[in-house]
Amino acid sequence: MRTEIAEHLDAAERAAEQAATEYVAAAAQSDERAEALAQSKLDKANEAAEAAQRKAARQSALVAAMESELAAIDGRREVERQRLSEANSQRLEAHTLKVQAEWDAAAESLVKLGAKLVALESAKGSGRTMRNLCLPLTNKLGAGRINENTLRTAAEGVDLSALIGN
């Protein structure tokens, strides 16, 4: 748009300069009729140039306002992009925490089940089924792992008579 404004203004100014040149040439030849026509053409060209300058000033102000508004919109879009990114990160974190809690709850269930198995195996005199066990925990406060020792410790609290129905 700025290019169009500049081109229109340049064309109007060139037309005014051409009319001025024609007027000077007619005045130099002392041709009153040609001079009067050139004067009329010069007046019209000057009016057109002035109108083009007024229009260019209005359009330049409009373009500046549009550019300012566009910059403001771009700024708001960037803020919203950042907010969306933050919201997505928070959503991922919330889902991660939820699934970690589910994992740890399932691991605790496995500890209870594994403790029963270890208690039963110990009662039979065996008990190396879980020697290679390594189950990671994800909770933030006490992240660690469940291994054979965890199950052996938990097995100490298993009531075998209640488990086998004596």
Nearest to 19 by CA among 2, 47, 48, 39: 39
Q: What are phi and psi of 145, to 5 degrees?
A: -150, 160
Q: What are phi and psi of 140, to 5 degrees?
A: -70, -35
pLDDT in tens, 26-70: 888 888 888 888 888 888 888 888 888 888 888 888 989 999 999
In the block, which residue shows the tokens 């039979």?
Answer: 124
pLDDT in tens, 97-119: 899 989 989 999 999 999 999 99
CB 114 within 8 A of CB 74: no
- In this prediction, residue 145 carries a pLDDT of 87
Q: Which of 22-26, 85-89, 113-117, 149-153 has the highest mean pLDDT?
A: 85-89
Q: Tell me which of 12 and 97 has the higher pLDDT.
A: 97
- In this prediction, residue 140 carries a pLDDT of 62
In the block, which residue shows the tokens 């005014």?
Answer: 16
Q: Tell me which of 4 and 114 has the higher pLDDT.
A: 114
CB 93 within 8 A of CB 133: no
- In this prediction, residue 58 carries a pLDDT of 87
- In this prediction, residue 16 carries a pLDDT of 82
- In this prediction, residue 78 carries a pLDDT of 97
- In this prediction, residue 112 carries a pLDDT of 94
